[in-house]
Structure 1
Amino acid sequence: MAVVALSVVERRLDAVRAVLSGAPVAEVARGVGVSRQSLHTWVARYLLGGVAGLANRSSRPMLSPSRAPDEVEAAVAELRREHPRWGARRIRLELLRADPPWHPGEGLDAAAVPSTATINRILLRHGLVKPRPRKRPRSSFVRFERPGPMQLWGIDIVGGIELVNPVTGELREAKIVTGVDDHSRFCVMAQVVERATGRAVCLAFAKALAAYGVPEEVITDNGKQFTARFAKGGEALFDKICRNNAITHRLTQPASPNQNGKVERFHGTFRPEISEQGPFVSLVEAQGAVDVWVAHYNAERPHQALDEQAPVMPADRFTPTKDEAMLPLWVPPSLEIAPGPAAGDAQVTAAVEGPVIVATDRPRRVPGSGAPVELDKVAPASGNMTVGRQQVWLGPERSGQVVRVWADCDWLHLSIGAQRIKTLRSRLTVNDLDVLAARGAWPAGDPPAAARARAREGVVEVERTVARTGNISLGNKAVAVAELLAGRRVGVWIEDHAPLIFFDPATRTILRTRPNTLSPGDQYTLQQAVPTGERPRPAVEPVTVQRRASATGIIAVAGQKVPLGRIHAGATVTVHAAEATLAIELPDGDTRVVRRTNDNAVRSMKGQRPRTA
């Protein structure tokens, strides 16, 4: 049997005829699957319009009292046509301004300004925007923002400015070094440069620091202008400026521009609008156009991310921290392209406008004078650091540490955290010192206190690495130190008619003493001799050694004999040698403490091996 599908109008007509023939409305409505009110509506529409009245109709109301007035729609459409890049949120913020710059004196009442969604619908009705598919809701995004200004700057490099040669008409692209404050979105830096070299970036950064003060943190990508993270060694100039001004330098993960999203979003607004004004004939003209745009952006342009309900400019939320009472700004001498101020002026100054960046009260070094210099270097992963043309071995354990280098033509003094770690003969020439000064080294003061030579007749200090056999070489002679110290760097205190003292160069505590086999005066011919520091001192912490009791039950520690009794003859005991006592752990578990009768250094760590017949 064939089943005929009825249309909507036919089903409604059958229900209406059933009601008109006397069937109960409730039963007919239940059979059709609609409410009684809907069925009564069908009957009324059938009686007025016949079968045609049962067709579907639009539910749109005839009137909409809440619709935006015609003058509001006209203002929205006019703003969009005058500024094709303005979206609904920007148009709403402009309508909220009491005296808008686009039509002075014609601002709308705040109550008459429609919402962002209404403005979007107006633009769609007028065909001024293209309909787009629904995106992820803004409420699902997790946004972060520092609670105050000058806490974090986002810094990056962007292209988009074209320079034209007025003679040949050739175009080339310039770069802009940009910086945005995280809290206020205030543009602190927008410097046009011919090429984005490390020096050009640091010049722009130094200019921003001098103009607004020093932020707590900056965040950049991993470009070679900002960091030597992926380089083989050394320290980038940008990193050095941050470190010396106590600025925490944060780096984004590779290929993650969203981690520096605020400055990237700034580029989305800045680059299209500034490129429309080009091409420019010179860097000066391009910089002038950028400065005008930045001034308008900071002080006159409402920022949509700051407040969607009221127009807020970045300058309203930004407060610089430049204060005369704060510490002076540090910049490397290579960026000091202007003469320094008069003597006695200890405050670092900077010119915000023009090519002059900074001038300091640092004394000027005369090239060719051979005067000592100081510089900071980061120890590479290999532990083999280069100072000029001279290599200095520090060891892999010091990788990543900042080393302060004091250098002249005679000595190299290396310190970490105000603690001298190494002193060696310098192979640098006067020209090498001048090159270091040109690359950022500054005139040095006095050498480190521990490295200052003292008038000690017949005293020499050297450093050696203990060999695997426990020996070192002094004047082509093998001197036994201790197998326990194999591979360790030790200092040797050599004095006429006195035993050799081996000590830890970092703490200058005595490790061992050995007889002096050198002839008087031989110490002056030793290689890598360094100026003497303070005399090594005995270790404050107890030294743990082992001793084997003799046949009569006697042990000797640092030249002091201690009888244990014949019951312990031949036994090996552990002795903790402190500054004033000797604590002896006996084989039966008892501990005997005796007073030390001398201050001799402990020479050997292990007891004598048993003799075999």
Structure 2
Amino acid sequence: MSVMEQRYRAVLEVEAGCPVTEVAQRYGVSRQSVHGWVRRYRDGGLAALADRSHRPDRCPHRTAAQIEALVCELRRLHPRWGPARLAYELRQRQVEPVPSPATLYRILVRNALITPGQRRRARSSYVRWEREAPMQLWQLDVMGGVMLADGRECKLISGIDDHSRFIVIAHLVVRASGRAVCAAFAGALQVFGVPEEVLTDNGKQFTGRFTRPRATEVLFERICRDNGITARTTRPRSPTTTGKVERWHKTVREEFLAAQAPFASVQAAQEALDAWVADYNTVRPHQALEMATPASRFARRDSAAAGEPLEALRLRLPADLAALPAAGSPAAAAGVVGASGPAVIAAGAAPVAVEFERTVPASGNLTAGKRQIWLGRSLAGRQVTVWVSATTLHVFSEGRLIKTHAVTLTDADLVRLVGLGARPGRPSPATALPAGPLAADAVVEIDRMVTNAGCVGVAGRLVSVGAPLAGRRVTLRIDARVMQVISEGVVVRALASPLTPSQRGRLQGARLAGRAPVSSAAAVRVERVVSSNGGVKVAGCRLQVGQVHRGKVVTVVLEETRFRVLFEGEELSVHPRTVIKEVKRLRASGHIDYGF
């Protein structure tokens, strides 16, 4: 019998006069159940004995329909809002009572506004860390993916305060070079003050510890060292260490970039980003801060409030980023360094950059700033101006930048140069190229050291300039079609230009070229030792000088149509030039003494 038939037979027995207790015992149910069956049969007949739902007629704590409708509307307007943000928004709208996050999640699932997925790891399983107060630690990183309408990709230089999640740096650049990163960092230091520590990955903009062949200090590390900032780096391939700034980049992509079309220009993108960052810092609640805004937990560094001497915390920027004021100005008299903001140096401190004059010796090898600088014999006897900071040395001749070298000097070295007569330096020639795109017909010059294999590095590639130049520092004069190799003021080789105008404009240490050098075909000088039979070989030609000169080191001048052989300034002979070949060796291989 079915359950309904058993209930009907039990009701019939009770109606026939059987005691309810016996009927309940016989059918294995309680007396209350039998009474209920009888009551239902009397009220509704046989159909009333069918199974009924056990669902209660009402639920006092069920979410009201109006609240559920509001939750669905907010979710449709803001697809990225989850249960925690929805609960915050309901409290802001003074909704009572506010459903729990679990209830809000079930509402979203029930209305097909969210797809249930695999549960993530519990937040308690992660090892989280956070500084106790603002300005104790900044996290910095660089992100790509900001596209312009012309197809170019911009980079976002980001900085976030570890304690408050306040965005201190959000700067867009076309190329995230070390100088661009340091300029954005210096701007944040001027606005918000100096943090105690910074944390970055191991990008070359932030650290030089992985530079080959030996580690070096980059400009970012120099700024940190000068201002007493502890520069920390993550372990290689450990992006979770800088998790806060990485999470900020995810928010930028999902909330800012996803809703924007490609920007018309870098300036337009920066303006839109600034407005969005202002809302992020001051209006948008942050879930990791218990729905507080980053601005509510952030505070600028106030040295006076901290009870520290002002002079000890004044911002110091390298001269490549902060130019010295003109000599004689009130700012110079007060020891101010930098155009604006708190970038100052206390009176009596070491200068940021100095410059002085030197006369090039006859050898063409000038010594300045603890470094030997090869300028060539063509400048022998001329006076040049040397501009030097703690990291960079520039050499000017007749107002034109001709050499740039990296140096490592201390404040004591700069003070010593001042004591020897040096004066405060002019604004730093951070780049000798004009701002903006380089013209297609522009000619630039760079200085490079030739490797033992006869190669120089240009725009990330190795270019062979000839083994005879190995170990020398040469100047490369590059235009749209030709790259000339200049040694000691003369062209010794010409190659096809391997660079586009945009690549020429980004060369490290590049400058606009001055007057054209002397042609190598008319002025190249080489040295040779006269053999035992009185001859020398130059550029594929054998020249007979005479046995009387055997063993002597002679100078051969290569002109366009002839060779001139000189010894101690006296012309020994002249020979026609019938073969044009590349000179493989400029100096004599050794002096031979034949005993005569």
TM-score range, shorter chain: 0.5 to 0.7
What is the one-letter code of the residue matched to 1:336?
Answer: A
Q: Give, in whole Å, the separation in 1 of the partners of 2:417 and 2:107.
A: 75
User: Retained in 1: the 8 A contact 2:324–2:332?
Assistant: no
What is the CA distance between 1:18 and its match in structure 2?
12
What is the one-letter code of the residue matched to 2:322?
Answer: E
User: Retained in 1: the 8 A contact 2:8–2:46?
Assistant: no
SS at match of 1:67: coil
Of the candidates 339, 343, 346, which is equivalent to residue 332 of structure 2?
A: 343
SS at match of 1:444: helix
Q: Give, in whole Å, the separation in 1 of the partners of 2:186 and 2:9.
A: 85
Answer yes or no: is 1:130 the counterpart of 2:115.
yes
Counterpart of 1:469 in structure 2 is: none
Of the candidates 390, 409, 416, which is equivalent to residue 446 of structure 1?
A: 416
Of the candidates 264, 269, 279, which is equivalent to residue 281 of structure 1?
A: 264
Answer yes or no: is 1:86 the counterpart of 2:81.
yes
Question: What are the within-5 Å matches in structure 2 for residues 387-406 of structure 1?
Answer: none
Cα pair distance change 1:320/1:15, threshold 3 Å? farther
SS at match of 1:128: coil
Counterpart of 1:503 in structure 2 is: none
Moved more, 180-189 or 255-264: 255-264
Answer yes or no: is 1:239 the counterpart of 2:221.
yes
SS at match of 1:435: strand
The superposition leaves residues 260-281 of structure 1 with CA deviations (integer Å, 9 ceiling, x where unpaired) of: 1111111121222221223112
What is the CA distance between 1:95 and its match in structure 2?
3.0
Q: Give, in whole Å, the separation in 2 of the partners of 1:177 and 1:64.
A: 54
User: Retained in 2: the 8 A contact 1:337–1:359?
Assistant: no
User: Retained in 2: the 8 A contact 1:192–1:287?
Assistant: yes
Of the candidates 63, 71, 79, which is equivalent to residue 76 of structure 1?
A: 71
Of the candidates 264, 275, 298, which is equivalent to residue 318 of structure 1?
A: 298
What is the CA distance between 1:299 and its match in structure 2?
0.9
What is the one-letter code of the residue matched to 1:345?
Answer: A
The superposition leaves residues 47-106 of structure 1 with CA deviations (integer Å, 9 ceiling, x where unpaired) of: 877887677654433222323333333332232222222222223223333xxxxxxxxx
SS at match of 2:220: helix
Of the candidates 95, 98, 101, which is equivalent to residue 113 of structure 1?
A: 98
Cα pair distance change 1:286/1:52, threshold 3 Å? same
SS at match of 2:188: helix
What is the CA distance between 1:187 and its match in structure 2?
0.5
Counterpart of 1:333 in structure 2 is: 319
User: Retained in 2: the 8 A contact 1:338–1:359?
Assistant: no
The superposition leaves residues 16-49 of structure 1 with CA deviations (integer Å, 9 ceiling, x where unpaired) of: 68996777578668xx7x8887787778778877
Counterpart of 2:289 in structure 1 is: 306
Question: What are the within-5 Å matches in structure 2 for residues 510-549 of structure 1?
Answer: none
What is the one-letter code of the residue matched to 2:216?
Answer: G
Q: Give, in whole Å, the separation in 2 of the partners of 1:109 and 1:28.
A: 58
TM-score scaled by length of structure 2: 0.53
User: Retained in 2: the 8 A contact 1:198–1:224?
Assistant: yes
Counterpart of 2:169 in structure 1 is: 189
The superposition leaves residues 327-363 of structure 1 with CA deviations (integer Å, 9 ceiling, x where unpaired) of: 21122221225746722334555647xxxx9576835
Moved more, 178-187 or 272-281: 272-281
> RMSD of the alignment, in Å?
4.4
SS at match of 1:343: helix
SS at match of 2:160: strand
Cα pair distance change 1:346/1:437, threshold 3 Å? farther
Counterpart of 1:384 in structure 2 is: none
Cα pair distance change 1:359/1:69, threshold 3 Å? same
User: Retained in 1: the 8 A contact 2:315–2:344?
Assistant: no
User: Retained in 2: the 8 A contact 1:388–1:436?
Assistant: no
Aligned residues: 373
SS at match of 2:152: strand
Cα pair distance change 1:134/1:117, threshold 3 Å? same
Of the candidates 143, 152, 174, which is equivalent to residue 154 of structure 2?
A: 174
Question: What are the within-5 Å matches in structure 2 for residues 142-291 of structure 1?
Answer: 142-165=127-150, 171-232=151-212, 233-275=215-257, 276-291=259-274
SS at match of 1:296: helix
The superposition leaves residues 269-298 of structure 1 with CA deviations (integer Å, 9 ceiling, x where unpaired) of: 122222122311221111111111111111
What is the one-letter code of the residue matched to 1:196?
Answer: A
Where structure 1 has 5 or more consecutive residues not aligned to the other structure, the ranges are 1-5, 98-107, 166-170, 375-386, 391-408, 415-427, 450-613
What is the CA distance between 1:215 and its match in structure 2?
1.1
Q: Give, in whole Å, the separation in 2 of the partners of 1:156 and 1:80.
A: 32
What is the one-letter code of the residue matched to 1:158?
Answer: M
Counterpart of 2:354 in structure 1 is: 365
Cα pair distance change 1:45/1:278, threshold 3 Å? same
SS at match of 1:156: strand
Q: Give, in whole Å, the separation in 2 of the partners of 1:196 and 1:368.
A: 35
Q: Give, in whole Å, the separation in 1 of the partners of 2:220 and 2:345.
A: 18
Answer yes or no: is 1:141 the counterpart of 2:123.
no
Cα pair distance change 1:287/1:144, threshold 3 Å? same
What is the CA distance between 1:321 and its match in structure 2?
0.3
What is the one-letter code of the residue matched to 1:129?
Answer: I
What is the one-letter code of the residue matched to 1:88?
Answer: P
TM-score scaled by length of structure 1: 0.52
What is the one-letter code of the residue matched to 1:122?
Answer: I
User: Retained in 1: the 8 A contact 2:146–2:155?
Assistant: yes
Of the candidates 297, 302, 323, which is equivalent to residue 280 of structure 2?
A: 297
What is the one-letter code of the residue matched to 2:242?
Answer: N
Identity across matched positions, percent: 45
SS at match of 2:240: helix
Q: Give, in whole Å, the separation in 1 of the partners of 2:192 and 2:254.
A: 27
Q: Give, in whole Å, the separation in 2 of the partners of 1:55 and 1:154.
A: 68
Q: Give, in whole Å, the separation in 2 of the partners of 1:190 and 1:112.
A: 39
Cα pair distance change 1:58/1:192, threshold 3 Å? farther
Cα pair distance change 1:209/1:15, threshold 3 Å? farther
SS at match of 1:332: coil
SS at match of 1:305: helix
What is the CA distance between 1:224 and its match in structure 2?
1.8
SS at match of 2:169: strand
Q: Give, in whole Å, the separation in 1 of the partners of 2:324 and 2:54.
A: 77
What is the one-letter code of the residue matched to 1:273?
Answer: E
Q: Give, in whole Å, the separation in 2 of the partners of 1:303 and 1:204.
A: 25
Where structure 2 has 5 or more consecutive residues not aligned to the other structure, the ranges are 305-309, 359-365, 375-384, 420-596
SS at match of 1:445: helix
What is the one-letter code of the residue matched to 1:280?
Answer: F
What is the CA distance between 1:162 and its match in structure 2?
0.8
Counterpart of 1:422 in structure 2 is: none
SS at match of 2:332: coil
